[in-house]
Amino acid sequence: MSRKPFIPKPLCYLCSTLLLASASTTSMATITGEDLKFTGYARSGIGNSNEGGKQQAFKAVGAPTKYRLGNETETFVELGLGGEAFNDGTASWEFKSLVAYSVDQATDWEATKPALREFYMRGTGVFGFAPEASIWAGKRYYKRHDIHMIDYYYLTMQGPGAGIENIDLGGARFSAAWMRNTQTYKYYSTASDAAELKDPKERDISYDVIDLRLEDIELNQNGKLTAALQWGTGNVSDGIKDSWINTYGVKQSSKIANPKVEQKNYKKKDLEDDGFLFSLIHTQSDFLGGFNQLILQHAKDAGSAWGFGTSGLGYASLDALETDKLTRVMDTGVVALGENVELNYVVGWSKLGYIKKTGKKDQTWITAGMRPVYFWNNYMSTALDVGYDMVKDSIITETATDGKPKTFADSKLTKVTLAQQWSAGRNYWARPQIRLFATYAKWNKESKGKIGGAPFDKETSGWTYGVQGEIWW
């Protein structure tokens, strides 16, 4: 007996609206069911911790990401709907939408509102001088680059924007985009208000980014280079005056001995700080039956915060204004080791520099990991995921009476996961996949109480176990 395809309600409403709109007048584009594409990603499961309670994630203090296999504790879903709205043989127009959900996978009914992550339109073949190029506008995931093993987006612009992409220059493709993200932060009008946590206010700061790309530059046989430059700056209203911040959220009048009170004053010019991130990405295909990717990145000033290169948010918090440089080198890939084994690997080094007046030391993140997968047959495999992270000077061990950091320590974490997997095919990337996993992690004593949540706050090691399903389509 055939079954009707499942389409979630939010997408049904969106689809119905589009179809009704297209049918309302012959001058509009007509979108039929055959034109629509339903895409998505999802992961969900169940897990426990050996110290009791639900599964906890293990991540080194100060690291921007973690080794993901057997170390994800949420249900996360992205549902996309898109399709072609017009095509006359010369030009074509399409749209894409995507909503995302994330819950704690703690119980049956977990009410949550969807986040609208994408809704943009794109036209191709509309420029006579470059018929291969496209123009687009709307909210979008724009040319994102990630390392799957650690779920790390080292280069990604996302949010509202507009641009032109894929202009053939003869030996490279050129794209340019303007994108924006806006963050809300809490501030005080005076230093005394900040010290007393009195009359807090909220303010929105927009961060605009110009993104320039050269892609598919052929350097060697089966090797291509991407060069990317993002330049961004705060976009602040002329009416904005000084913004005082209570750094540690402690009242001056607190009865606690030596309260950690420090106020920072950001002027309009500080909030409009600009910066850049420059990236070179070399991808070698047909490499040992797979691929290898080498990543070189350097950033200055407002472009140096972790958030700039990983989420395209500019300074997601005012702490980003404390950094002034970032250098990153990473290498990753998936290769075949015989007929029955595939290996995913990553090594990386990053250094994030802080301006002197913060009192913070530069942080160096070193990561190395591998995940060999042995295929027993076309559907069953076993994966061993081993990862190590070290973040130098990421833990403040002592502070001065004004709250500024005084002494520091490193955070070190080793995480090992063994997973038995059943997949829709004999391939590292085959999905859907269900995996039964056990994860063990060990960290240094300086990280005690800062890794693994409440169940492990007095421990320097722990293990979790569970079952997870993952799919993309």
Torsion of CA 336, 429, 71, 106, to 10 degrees: -160
Q: What's the mean per-residue pLDDT of the chain?
A: 87
pLDDT band at 242 (very low <50, low <70, confident <90, very high): low
Among 253, 271, 265, CA closest to 188 = 265
Is residue 236 within 8 Å of 268, Cβ to Cβ?
yes
Peptide bond into 432 cis (omega under 30): yes
Q: Strand, coil or helix: what is 73?
A: coil
Among 77-81, 314-318, 327-331, the minimum mean pLDDT is found in 314-318
Q: pLDDT of 400-439, one tens digit each?
A: 776 678 899 999 999 999 999 999 999 999 999 999 999 9
Is residue 390 within 8 Å of 60, Cβ to Cβ?
yes
| Distances 2 to 5, 32, 84, 457, 473 between C-alpha atoms, Å | 9, 22, 27, 52, 20
At residue 381, does pLDDT exceed 60? yes
In sequence order, the 6+-apart residues with CB closer than 8 A to the CB of 252 are 195, 196, 259, 261
The CA-CA-CA angle for residues 312, 314, 315, to 5°, reads: 135
Among 406, 392, 264, 285, CA closest to 335 = 285
The larger pLDDT score, comparing residue 247 to residue 224, is at 224
Is residue 75 within 8 Å of 425, Cβ to Cβ?
no
pLDDT band at 280 (very low <50, low <70, confident <90, very high): very high
At residue 45, does pLDDT exceed 60? yes
Among 52-66, 176-190, 334-348, the minimum mean pLDDT is found in 176-190
All domains of the chain in start order, with CATH: 9-26+39-472 (2.40.170.10)
At residue 119, does pLDDT exceed 70? yes
Q: Determine the distance from the C-alpha atom of residue 342 to the mean position of all C-alpha atoms in its chain, rounded to a whole number.
A: 25
C-alpha R_g of the chain: 24
Whole-number Å distance between alpha carbons of 378 and 357:
58
The CA-CA-CA angle for residues 256, 257, 263, to 5°, reads: 80
**Mean pLDDT: which of 50-54, 164-168, 178-182, 311-315 is highest?**
164-168
In sequence order, the 6+-apart residues with CB closer than 8 A to the CB of 147 are 154, 330, 332, 346
Is residue 166 within 8 Å of 133, Cβ to Cβ?
yes
Whole-number Å distance between alpha carbons of 318 and 266:
9
Can you give the pLDDT at residue 215? 98
Can you give the pLDDT at residue 356? 82
Among 360, 367, 449, CA closest to 413 = 367
Can you give the pLDDT at residue 140? 96
DSSP-derived secondary structure letter, 392: E
Whole-number Å distance between alpha carbons of 155 and 146:
7
In sequence order, the 6+-apart residues with CB closer than 8 A to the CB of 336 are 288, 289, 290, 342, 343
| Distances 324 to 262, 300, 396, 412 between C-alpha atoms, Å | 21, 5, 20, 25
Helix ranges restricted to H, 306-446:
306-311
Report the largest interatomic distance among the alpha carbons of the chain, rounded to a whole angstrom: 75
Q: Determine the distance from the C-alpha atom of residue 432 to the mean position of all C-alpha atoms in its chain, rounded to a whole number.
A: 22
In sequence order, the 6+-apart residues with CB closer than 8 A to the CB of 98 are 39, 78, 79, 80, 81, 116, 117, 118, 119, 141
DSSP-derived secondary structure letter, 54: B
The residue assigned the tokens 């992205």 is: 78
Percent of the chain with pLDDT over 70: 84
